Homo-oligomer: A and B are copies of this chain.
């Protein structure tokens, strides 16, 4: 079946570009001694995870226990929940999962440590627990130095847990537009890691893993000599927001290709300057800006309603008719993927695969 026959809205995955993205990151990391553990919150698909592993990834990160379950059930043997887990039900499910796969998780509060330890004890497993360090994004995470030490000691003292190192992901650094801003953010992160590591070293507590990095900054963490595990996720798809990051020459970074598209149909063409697509808020996420229209100069997606996307046409004479189909680059890939049940994989214009988005809606 030609990809042009796919009904809309649909999530298209250009497999050649996707494969190249996987290889680009894999090649960049190969031989460095740094572990690649891509983030599965982006794709929510064990099929993608296993392809990442076939190119050298050790396993995946995820953000939710239900995502970890989907990954382990799909054959991923090593899953790191790079997020705080809270609540009896989730601690129990995570410990249960550790009877079947290598599981690690991060914490930033003694209550999480207590809950994880009790659950791990019940299942007779040992969990690797990393302390999240606030490297500058001011979201979760303990402040550098003594506060991390205090929590690491709580972890180390818990009989069913093993202190595994530092979660040091800098979220807001990923989308800083200039290389100088990104460098500065990661330098700040490195300074906080160094301070914390010194404090831990003085007490004889080793950091076996220092894990972080995303698609926007991974080369900085890779070159740091400090991070020994990379978590980049969005590189598999790229989105319109990441494509606004600039390189040293002031040009958009083009290290990875757009491989993910929302396929949409022109459902209404009421006046020459306006076209309406069948893809709105339930077909793409606009939290990081509007999607970009592929291959049509002077056509801008200006507003998303629940089921409508409004296009403005600079050139009213543009040939764009009811029934025409367009590809959109989503503003933000992760929450867009979470709206769909399937990736429609295409190569050389042909639909080659349908991959279920197994962890779609897995928020627990």
Give the docked Cα–Cα distance between A41 and B307 (Å): 9
Partner of A307 from B83, B285, B339 at Cβ < 8 Å: B83
- Given the interface pairs A265-B87, A335-B282, A338-B339, the reply to whether A140 lies near B308 with Cβ below 8 Å is yes
Size bracket of the A interface:
35 or more
The copy count of this chain in the complex is 2
Give the docked Cα–Cα distance between A134 and B270 (Å): 9
- Taking the complex as formed, is A364 at the interface, i.e. its CB lies under 8 A from any CB of chain B? yes
- Taking the complex as formed, is A153 at the interface, i.e. its CB lies under 8 A from any CB of chain B? no
Give the docked Cα–Cα distance between A323 and B285 (Å): 29
- Taking the complex as formed, is A300 at the interface, i.e. its CB lies under 8 A from any CB of chain B? no
Give the docked Cα–Cα distance between A266 and B360 (Å): 23
Give the docked Cα–Cα distance between A139 and B278 (Å): 12
Among A106-114, A248-256, A347-355, the stretch that binds chain B is: A106-114
A-B residue pairs, 3 tightest by C-beta: A140-B268, A63-B307, A281-B335
CB pair A89–B7 under 8 Å, yes or no, is: yes
Can you list 23 pairs linking A and B with CB atoms under 8 Å apart?
A: A7-B89, A8-B364, A41-B306, A41-B307, A83-B267, A84-B268, A84-B276, A86-B265, A86-B266, A108-B268, A108-B270, A109-B268, A109-B269, A139-B268, A139-B276, A142-B270, A279-B363, A281-B334, A282-B363, A283-B363, A306-B335, A338-B339, A339-B363
A-side interface residues toward B, CB under 8 Å?
7-9, 41, 63-64, 83-87, 89-90, 108-109, 111-112, 134, 138-143, 171, 265-271, 274, 276, 278-279, 281-283, 285-287, 304-308, 310, 321-323, 332, 334-335, 338-341, 360-361, 363-364
